[in-house]
Amino acid sequence: MSVARCSRPEALAVSGSRSSLKIAQARRDARGGAGTGSTQLDALENGSAFAELPGWRVIAVRGDDAAAWLHDLITADVEGLSSGQSRRSLLLTPTGRIRADLHVARLDGSFLLLQEERQPEPVDAALTAYVLSSDVELEDRTERSVVVAVLGGDDAEVGDDTIVLAPSVLGRGHDVIVPPGAPVDRLRERLRERGLVEVTSEDLETWRIRRGVVRMGSDFGPEALPAEAGLDDAIDFTKGCFLGQESVAKVRNLGHPPWVLRLVRSKGPIAKGATVWVDGAAVGAVTSSAAAEGGMDAIVRVRWEAASGPLSTETGPLSLRQG
């Protein structure tokens, strides 16, 4: 038995403006530009970097019903994936809140789910309740897998027990999944020999914030709506039913969510958790911040009706960044 399906793509083809989140999606794939002042950050910008992604959950989904079962539950078009292709997706609650932010990839007749460890709920635990009598098996491969994001070079890394997925969870390039220990050490050596720069988790976090890429566990939690986080691109609005579909349609009909995320620049220091103000009224908070040339970049979560106002913190005004 699979999750009940429906063929009503028009249910999500509703009128109304989509989230006007100013964190431009184009910045996620931006290349080049002026130097960042850091060899590692320049390598990320120029597509000549690689990084181990510690702690990412790797969940295998197998069984005769796996494709249809996943397609009915998560927001991405699962059935349209080709082998080795991945795409970002969401698992929502019935009320349309984000339960998990993940990437789904097809591997011939099975699938892999990749999820950052800092999210409050493992995606396999969230999905288990929906298996029921479906021919579906979930297997946690996290302890036997290391995810390495490769943002440079066209040659995919192949070998025994190696999985290559594209695009990378970082937005471009590809991901290589290998066993821990000697295999990942050999992979690092090959990538260095190709002239790629290894970057750290701290470098990735700074790069993420500068591009305005929102992160579950940092910028939004399980109470957030997709439109609030600017994640409409993780939803296939034409495929028909998925968990939380009707609630997503209602939000789109209303025109906007109650809260939004914004990418901003501050000339002064700005810390995570700092209150954001508009004309003396508290309207939100800083969710992420990172040093930038001439100041700091930050992501803030603010009330919709205040998002276009003169935002500031106690250290000074904030200017909206638009890609």
Q: Provide DSSP, 47-84.
A: T-EEEE-TT-EEEEEESTTHHHHHHHHSSS-STTPPBT
Q: What's the rounded mean pLDDT across residues 129-144?
A: 97
Domains and CATH numbers, the chain: 25-208 (3.30.1360.120)
The amino acid present at 275, given as its one-letter code, is T
For 289, the token pair is: 């911040």
Q: What is the pLDDT of residue 322?
A: 66
Q: What is the dihedral of CA 12, 108, 194, 182, to 10 degrees?
A: 120
Q: Say yes or no to pLDDT of 252 above 90.
A: no
Q: What percentage of the chain has pLDDT greater than the value 70? A: 86
In contact, 48 and 195? CB cutoff 8 Å:
yes
d(CA 57, CA 121): 11
Mean predicted lDDT score pLDDT of the chain = 88
Q: Say yes or no to pLDDT of 274 above 50.
A: yes
Q: Say yes or no to pLDDT of 141 above 50.
A: yes
Q: Say yes or no to pLDDT of 98 above 60.
A: yes
Q: Choose from 159-173, 242-256, 283-297 the range with maximum mean pLDDT.
A: 283-297
Better-predicted residue by pLDDT, 110 or 12: 110
Q: pLDDT band for 275, please (50, 70, 90 cuts).
A: very high
pLDDT tens, residue by residue, 4-33: 455 444 444 443 333 334 443 333 333 333
Q: pLDDT band for 36, please (50, 70, 90 cuts).
A: low
d(CA 50, CA 181): 17
**Residues sharing a CB contact under 8 Å with residue 151, sequence separation 6 or more, in sequence order:** 43, 44, 47, 48, 49, 50, 51, 168, 170, 172, 173, 196
d(CA 145, CA 54): 10
Q: What is the pLDDT of residue 110?
A: 97
- Is 228 exposed, middle or buried, given 0-12, 13-18 or 19+ CB atoms closer than 10 A? buried
CA distances from 31 to 24, 43, 163 (A): 14, 10, 26
Q: Say yes or no to pLDDT of 144 above 70.
A: yes
Q: What is the pLDDT of residue 156?
A: 60
Q: Provide DSSP, 230-242.
A: T-GGGS-TTS---
SS3 at position 271: coil
Q: What is the pLDDT of residue 82?
A: 97
The amino acid present at 144, given as its one-letter code, is R
Q: What is the pLDDT of residue 29?
A: 37
Q: Phi then psi for 119, rounded to 5 degrees?
A: -70, 145
For 142, the token pair is: 């996290």
User: What b/e sequence results for 239-274 when a residue is b if at least 16 CB atoms lie within 10 Å of its CB, and e otherwise?
Assistant: bbbbbbbebbbebbeeebbebbbbbbbbeeebeeeb
Global confidence as pTM = 0.87
